[in-house]
Amino acid sequence: MVFSAIEDAIHTWVTNASKLAGNQVYFTHQNGPQPSDRPFISITIGESIRSIGAVDEMTRDTDLTRPAGSEIQQTVTGQRDMTCLIQAFAEGVVERPLPQLPFTLPSIGSRTAVALMLDIQVALGLESVRSGLNAVGLSPYNIGRVRRLDALIETHFEGRAILDLNFYMSDQVIEQVGYVKEIQGTGTFIDGAITVPVPVDVIGS
């Protein structure tokens, strides 16, 4: 599986839905500094990937026109359930302006973390978003719930929210092996005191 394609598709969906700049949306555990400006979003892909079903499917395809040693192609396809965790961080916790105060609070009236998560969640219903995810083998089936996790930072609240969701995905590995066309050898036929050498010639169909 090429995970970079999955990362690109999810990053595109989250960036377009949130309307944030691309450098304000990053992946958790990605090397590099955390964005200094809020709002920003972090994405965790594949914290849990569960196999669906008892065994994966195996199919075989024989093509004698392939080069020797690769005539038989074995394909194993596995269905998986993958989690995705999205977190938003914003300076404000409410968009409604506050009454007059003798001091200034950061970014009152800006988009909150909850609002960002709701936009990302609802965007999964768009055909363009679904098509982009389906193109890399992802199919969202549980769009989760948005949870508010605001935190008190010194003298003001920082807006925080998370969205947990699940995707069905398909992974596939392919191996090519050789085809035995003919086996030749010599066996021995024994009947009492009679021993007769017998040629063996097995030809594959």
Comparing 11-15, 152-156, 190-194, which segment has the lowest mean pLDDT? 152-156
Confidence class for position 8, pLDDT limits 50, 70, 90 = very high
Q: How many structural domains comprise the chain? A: 1
Q: Is residue 18 part of a domain?
A: yes
Mean model confidence pLDDT for the chain: 83
Q: Which domain holds residue 88?
A: 3-52+80-177
pLDDT digits (tens, 9 = 90+) for 64-119: 888 888 889 999 999 999 999 999 988 765 555 555 555 554 444 467 888 899 99
- The CATH number of the domain holding residue 98 is 3.30.2000
- What is the pTM for the complete model shown? 0.72
State both tokens at 122: 């609802």
Maximum C-alpha span of the chain = 116
Confidence class for position 38, pLDDT limits 50, 70, 90 = confident
C-alpha distances (whole Å) from 131 to each of 11, 22, 49, 98, 151 are 14, 20, 22, 41, 36
Range list of H helices, 65-178: 113-122, 127-134
Q: How many CB atoms lie under 10 A from the CB of residue 126?
A: 13
Under a CB-based contact definition with an 8 Å cutoff, are residues 200 and 193 in contact? no
Q: Is residue 58 part of a domain?
A: no
Q: Is residue 66 part of a domain?
A: no
Q: Is residue 198 part of a domain?
A: no
